Amino acid sequence: MGMNRKFRKLLNEQLQGMTVGDIMEPEVITINEDASLEQLYSLISKYHHLGYPGVNKENKTTGVISYKDLFRVKREDWNRIRVKERMSTRLIYVSPGDSVIEAVEKMTEEGIGRLLVMEDDKLVGIVSRSCIMEKGIKKVVK
């Protein structure tokens, strides 16, 4: 059994019984879908997150945009192009009561590094691979 599989097994054992609500980040930084890509770059520079939920005027989550989406556009176009033109509108999410293991499986299947945490169509948090690793490792070390 390789180190990666051993580590995965250990982490899986430690995450057993943990829910997304136990580890999610409840204070989510969002960006208005009408913001420019230049404004997105400012958020990335300030907070160093790799993805942000896009919201409309009613603060309803309408998509997700990542640094990859930003860097697929020429730098000189960042002021002209809006977030809503580049964000993914396919919302991939989990609920606070879902297991962390289910969240990891969903991220792996979808090839993404973070999931929205939604409850009754309302964004209540975000969970990322790094968040899961951090909380899982803390549990192992205790």
Domain positions in the chain? 3-141
**pLDDT value at residue 125:** 97
Is the Cα torsion angle 65, 68, 73, 78 positive or negative in sign?
positive
Nearest CA to 66 among 134, 115, 24, 108?
A: 115
- Distance, CA of 107 to CA of 46 (rounded, Å): 25
Global confidence as pTM: 0.85
Kindly report the average pLDDT of the chain as a whole number. Answer: 89
pLDDT tier for residue 54 given thresholds of 50, 70 and 90:
very high
pLDDT digits (tens, 9 = 90+) for 61-104: 999 999 999 999 999 999 999 999 999 999 999 999 999 989 98
**pLDDT value at residue 1:** 43
Nearest CA to 22 among 123, 136, 113?
A: 136
CATH no., domain 3-141: 3.10.580.10
Of 2-6, 62-66, 99-103, 107-111, which range is least confident? 2-6
Nearest CA to 63 among 49, 35, 37, 83?
A: 83
- Distance, CA of 15 to CA of 10 (rounded, Å): 9
Highest mean pLDDT out of 16-20, 22-26, 134-138: 22-26
3-state SS assignment for residue 71 = coil
Alpha-helix runs per DSSP H in the chain: 3-15, 20-23, 37-47, 67-70, 83-86, 100-110, 129-141
Instruction: Assess whether pLDDT exceeds 50 at residue 3.
Output: no
C-alpha pair distances (Å), 142 with each of 42, 104, 123, 139: 37, 22, 31, 5
Burial 64-84 (b: 16+ CB within 10 A, else e): bbbbebbeeeeeeeeeebbbb
